[in-house]
Amino acid sequence: MTEQPVPAARRWRTVDIVVASVIAVAFGVVFWLWGLIWAATEAGFSFFPPAQAVLYGVWLVPAVLGALIIRKPGAALYCELVAAIVSAALGSQWGAIVVLQGLAQGVGAELVFLAVAYHSFRLPVALAAGTAAGLGAAVFDQIRYYAPYDLVTFRVPIFLITVVSATVLAGAGSAALTRALARTGVLDRFPAGRDRATV
């Protein structure tokens, strides 16, 4: 049985690998810094600790942003996972476990783009990808960190707030950032740059 060639539109170019890697490494540094911000703001959310999850969506941006720009299978997973690896290498306060978190988050976003066969990159898909990444993150955290906590007063609220944050910051935020970058011309070598109305 002859192996079918990968369609040109799905094949990763060198520029795709380079830009995806730049996104991932840049956000790996952002992840590490965001961990410091998370720790510094804990006291400010002492009135209702689950509310701190409004900040969570930033950790999911590369999954959605990478897919919106690269538009190739695996882009969401690659960007999120490599960013997590970079943050772990920089000394994330959560240690190497963030790599597994990045995997769960990247898979969540990737499944949405797979569901539309990597043919649509408009705002509704970006929002759905952010939501799915948030679900991956929230489920992982419930299992890894929050099992001992009260269901009603902590676990359910932090789950919901995490998903909403992911939808807004990673979903809508990545769509807005992609549009902004496209207007500057830096994405002209990508469909996202040539199609200004994509997201």
Give the dihedral of Cα atoms 74, 76, 78, 82; nearest 10 deg: -170
**184 has a pLDDT exceeding 80:** yes
Residue-level pLDDT at 111: 98
In a domain, 185, yes or no: yes
**14 has a pLDDT exceeding 80:** yes
**1 has a pLDDT exceeding 80:** no
- Half-sphere CA count of 97, side-chain side, radius 13 A: 9
Q: Which CATH number do you get for residue 98?
A: 1.10.1760
The SS3 assignment for 150 reads coil
What global pTM score does this model have? 0.92
In a domain, 87, yes or no: yes
| CA 106 from centroid of its chain's CA atoms | 6
In a domain, 75, yes or no: yes
- How many domains, the chain? 1
Q: Are residues 65 and 177 in contact, defined by beta-carbon separation less than 8 angstroms? A: yes
In a domain, 44, yes or no: yes
Query: How many of the other CB atoms lie within 10 Å of CB of 64?
Result: 40
Residue-level pLDDT at 9: 73
In a domain, 5, yes or no: no
